[in-house]
Structure 1
Amino acid sequence: MGSSSGQSSGSYDLSFKILLIGDSGAGKSSLLVSLISASAEDLAPTIGVDFKIKFLTVGGKRLKLTIWDTVYDVTRRETFTNLSTVWAKEVELYSTNRDCVKMLVGNKVDRDSERAVSREEGMDLAKDLGCMFLECSAKTRKKRGAML
């Protein structure tokens, strides 16, 4: 069901839950694997829900990230459209923490010639939803951020 980043699960100072939501095939699992390991492999679509755990140290504090895999694909407009019509509403409906930090992530920027959603559109939606914004490629580990 879940797996660890390979570090000892001993004690930690802070724990965070990270939810990756979006359409099937948008690259959520690939982003997750890219974060947890140095690998950037092509994965089959996830059936159901999976999660992974990563431990890291920031500013002398040991953090535990629980990252759930239940993002939009910059090459598929419908995954972007569904963020505002489906997924953002789900987060608002089921979130138990109204102060949670939200980030809109556009994946697959390594396929720029196939792009169907512009960076500006992503930034505009992130602003409308009150989210931070990041574009990346789980495959190449390239990222371009904009904190809104």
Structure 2
Amino acid sequence: MIHESLLHHDLLFKLLLIGDSGVGKTCVLFRFSDDTFNTTFISTIGIDFKIKTVELQGKKIKLQIWDTAGQERFHTITTSYYRGANGILLVYDITQPKTFDNISKWLRNINEHASEDVERMLIGNKCDMEDKRLISEERGKKVAEENGIKFFETSAKENINIELAFNTLAEDILNKQRPIEDNNVATGVNLQGGNQSSSGGPGSCCKL
């Protein structure tokens, strides 16, 4: 049975989680969508998604959140989902410098494959592992500032800043669409139809 809250919504936003394999994208997603944490997740194969409805500024917003595989062999599959995304969360692991170094590669992927007006956010995950930290919060903030995007350090395990990050991204998308919405209301245009993602279905999504 489909939960009633998923049936009634004012807007649909498509979000994408990207970043190297093993940075915790799936854990971040499950913490936000189901408020669960599991250390036994295997790497995502191709792409998977979750849905969660949130209420922001008096509107019910259905978030369709796609979890992409970080491995290079899935690059062609995952980049096809960039187009049409309203927001992208770029995740790295604060204990793995290589995942931080690869941020520039992921940002290039966004520039090449996503819409120009896509909202972006940088996430430094696993901030609960302070004893194993190799990337300072200041370095994460600096990269975010250089690219004009917001930044949060998160922990899926300890549930730190997960909901805040997703809600902030959704609110930024909503604020960007507000002028369009206000204009459409004035002219009698139905906005909801225009915000539906044309991403198709989950395709060949595999279970985690």
Give TM-score scaled by structure 2 length. Answer: 0.64
Supply the distance in 2 between the matched residues of 1:7 and 1:119 (Cα, whole angstroms).
Answer: 40
In the alignment, which residue of structure 2 is the partner of 1:130?
148
1:140 deviation in Å?
0.6
In structure 1, the partner of 2:160 is 142
Q: Hey, what does 2:114 align to over in structure 1?
A: 95
Distance 2:146 2:158 in 1: 29
Shift of 1:7: 5.2
Deviations 1:119-139 (A, max 9, x none): 000000001122100001001
Matched with 1:61 is 59
Q: Does 1:119 align with 2:137?
A: yes
Gaps of 5+ in 1: none
SS at match of 1:9: helix
Any unmatched runs of 5+ in structure 2?
69-90, 169-208
Whichever structure has more helix as a proportion of its residues is: 2
Taking a change above 3 Å as real, the CA distance of residues 7 and 41 of structure 1, as seen in their structure-2 partners, is farther
Please state if 1:11 is matched with 2:8.
yes
Q: Distance in 2 between matches of 1:87 and 1:95?
A: 11
How far has the Cα of 1:56 moved from its partner? 1.6
CA distance in 2 between partners of 1:38 and 1:69 (Å): 16
State whether structure 2 residue 80 is matched by structure 1 residue 82: no
Report the structure number with the largest CA radius of gyration: 2
Q: Please say if residues 7 and 55 of structure 1, whose CA atoms lie closer than 8 Å, have aligned partners that are also in contact.
A: no
Structure 1's consecutive aligned runs of 4 or more residues displaced over 3 angstroms after TM superposition are 144-147
Identify the structure with the greater strand proportion. Answer: 1
> Secondary structure, in 3 states, of the residue corresponding to 1:8?
helix
CA RMSD between the two structures: 2.0
Distance (Å, rounded) in 2 between the aligned partners of 1:110 and 1:103: 20
Identical aligned residues as a percent: 42
User: Is this contact kept in 2: 1:107–1:135, CA < 8 A?
Assistant: yes
Query: Partners of 2:125 and 2:150 in 1: how far apart?
Result: 14
